[in-house]
Amino acid sequence: MRSVIVIGGGISGLAAAWQLRGRADVTVLESHSKVGGKLRTGTIAGIAVDEGAESLMALRPEAVELAAAVGLGDALCDPAQAPTTIWTNGALRPLPAGHVMGVPTDPQALTGTGLLSPEGVARVAAEETLPATPLTEDCSVTDYLSSRFGREAVDRLVEPLLGGVYAGRADRLSLRAAMPRIAALAEQGAPLLPALRRMKAAGAPRSAPVAVQGVVRGTGRFPQAVARSCGARILTGTTARALQWTGNRWRVQAMTADGALTMEADAVILALPAFAAAELLRPHSPLAEADLSAIPHASTAVITMAFSRAQAHFLPEGNGFLVPPVDGHTLKAASFLSNKWSWLDTSSPETFVVRASIGRIGEDELLARPDRHLVRAAIAELHHAVGPMGEPLATRVTRWDRGLPQYGVGHRDRVTRIREAASKLPGLALCGAAYEGVGVAACVATGRTAAHQVLSA
């Protein structure tokens, strides 16, 4: 059997290892003490909570299929049904159903929501009367969508969703890479509103935020289950430092707590954030290294707070809210986990758990503040948004430094160049969040593809 070293034990690398089971002798190297990367479950006040990703996209099959295959089928659960809510213009305002990443399909449904001014709603409605502007080359989300729907709609409807998924900003994210379904319609050149309505009527995927599933007792169980079932040798606490090509095999030099480790294999899969893959590829492909290094990353912080139901002055309804940066708040989003996930509510009925997120691309100064400042800001804004909840019993701050790659304008061409350059390196494949989607399902898909690439090389 071919031997394969997978570098990076996040969900992308583990998905690759799973795909290779029985077909290759696989070793996974992971620098942390546990596998999982951004899928990590911790505890607060004795309750299991996700500190990174909390849901799996259910509209595309890869993640939920893999979860079921590794024995978590019965643990997959739906969030409570509730509209996506935006905290804007001084109140929590539900986004009308039918939107696609915040892009409305029914302008009339926006009337009276307070999300947009009457002029803003009229500007959205006018989209179908505008001359067609076919998308011929990539541009930012803001550039295209504000020309069609007006700036207000982008600022208050689209921007908060992009902040939630990418920790990104509409004026920097690529329409083609960050909103591919909208871009595909834009390429056809017809007005978007009728095209989106036709897409919905044809049963095309609903808007992303409602079409997700969680895992009972934490999404962090998912990578652990894949690691247990994939049959690979998993070396945690092992950081790959250098890659060498010996002429017919790859040699990996790694560091562990016990010292240096050298291993060889027929093939290598780099399942790493772009900047970490760039380091290892520097001696082998300056082209890939340059493009990987040029992918920006946003840092974020997740602030989890446990409130006593008995002592709280007030408990909010719904699943949480997203916040547009245009309103100048510190919070990016808040999830009311105890409302959203029934397993959490059932397992700890006396506690109400809230997860707040802070930090978009370009907000490094904000994130440089100490944990206690972020906690105070999160509590103060939460009270402002929903009402006086009182002080939490416990708080936990999880920082994700350079946690989310940003798909800037031209990202898809960049990825094509990276993949072309990597294909010239025998037995080497790349997977992870940097390429074709940051969501867990997209990451699983890249892991599968990388496994097929090294098997067929």
Ligand X SMILES: Cc1cc2nc3c(=O)[nH]c(=O)nc-3n(C[C@H](O)[C@H](O)[C@H](O)COP(=O)(O)OP(=O)(O)OC[C@H]3O[C@@H](n4cnc5c(N)ncnc54)[C@H](O)[C@@H]3O)c2cc1C
Closer residue to ligand X, CB minimum distance, 163 or 432? 432
Shortest Cβ distance from residue 211 to ligand X (Å)? 11
Task: Compare residues 242 and 394 and give the one whose CB is closer to ligand X.
Answer: 242
Choosing from 17, 26, 30, 58, the residue that interacts with ligand X (CB under 6 A) is 30
Residue length, the chain? Answer: 457
Binding pattern for the stretch 297-336 against ligand X, x by CB under 6 A and - elsewhere:
---x-x----------------------------------
Residue 192 or residue 431: which is nearer to ligand X going by CB? 431
With respect to ligand X, which residue has the nearer C-beta, 97 or 242? Answer: 242
Q: What does residue 94 show for φ and ψ, rounded to 5 degrees?
A: -65, 135
Residue number with CB closer to ligand X (59 or 315): 59
Among 95, 272, 322, 379, binds ligand X (CB under 6 A): 272
Our CB check for ligand X shows the closer of 57 and 141 to be 57
Among 52, 107, 120, 320, binds ligand X (CB under 6 A): 52
Residue 109 or 235: the one with the smaller Cβ distance to ligand X is 235
Binding piece for ligand X, criterion CB under 6 A, among 3-11, 41-49, 86-94, 180-188: 3-11
Closest to ligand X by CB, 13 vs 392, is 13
Distance between CA atoms of 395 and 66, rounded to whole angstroms?
A: 32
Q: Residue 3, interface with ligand X (CB under 6 A)?
A: no
Considering the complex, what minimum distance in angstroms separates the CB of residue 99 from ligand X? Answer: 18
Cβ atoms 3, 266 nearer than 8 A:
yes
- Which range in 7-15, 71-79, 325-333, 380-388 contacts ligand X by CB under 6 A? 7-15
Q: In whole angstroms, how close is the CB of 302 to ligand X at the nearest point?
A: 5
**Of 76 and 122, CB closest to ligand X:** 76
Among 17, 24, 39, 141, indicate the residue that binds ligand X (CB under 6 A). Answer: 39
Residues 6+ apart with CB under 8 A from 290: none
Structural contact between residues 86 and 323, judged by C-beta atoms closer than 8 angstroms: yes
State yes or no: residue 57 binds ligand X (CB under 6 A).
Answer: yes
Q: Please, what is the minimum distance in Å from the beta carbon of residue 82 to ligand X? A: 16
Instruction: Decide if residue 432 touches ligand X (CB under 6 A).
Output: yes
* Beta carbon nearer to ligand X, 146 or 449: 449
Shortest CA distance to 379 belongs to which of 296, 314, 439, 455? Answer: 314
Output 107 or 403, the one with its CB closest to ligand X.
Answer: 403
Q: What is the 3-state secondary structure (H, E, C) of 255-293?
A: EECCEEEEEEECEEEECCCHHHHHHHHCCCCHHHHHHHH
Tokens, residue 270: 């780099």
List binders of ligand X among 382-421 (CB under 6 A).
400, 403-404
Tell the smallest beta-carbon distance from residue 452 to ligand X (Å): 17
Residue 54 as a binder of ligand X (CB under 6 A): the answer is yes
CB of 300 to ligand X, least distance (A): 5
Q: Which is nearer to ligand X, 38 or 172 (CB)?
A: 38
- Chain residues 208-247 in contact with ligand X, contact rule CB under 6 A: 239-240
How wide is the angle at C-alpha 380 spanned by C-alphas 375 and 386, nearest 5°?
Answer: 120
For the record, the structure tokens of 6 come out as: 């997978």
Residue 337 binds to ligand X (criterion: CB under 6 A) = no
Residues 300, 358: contact at Cβ < 8 Å? yes
DSSP designation for 167: S
Reference 174, options 142, 126, 214, 207; nearest CA is 142
Interface size with ligand X, residues (CB under 6 A): 37
Q: Which of 4, 5, 6, 10 binds ligand X (CB under 6 A)?
A: 10
Residues 4, 5, 6, 11: which binds ligand X (CB under 6 A)?
A: 11
Identify residues 157-216 at the interface with ligand X (CB under 6 A).
none
Angular region, 8: left φ>0, alpha ψ -120 to 50, beta rest: left
**Least distance from C-beta 165 to ligand X, angstroms?**
8
Alpha helices in 87-140 (DSSP H): 118-125
Contacts to ligand X by CB under 6 A: 7-13, 29-32, 37-39, 52-57, 239-240, 271-273, 276, 300, 302, 400, 403-404, 432-433, 438-440, 443
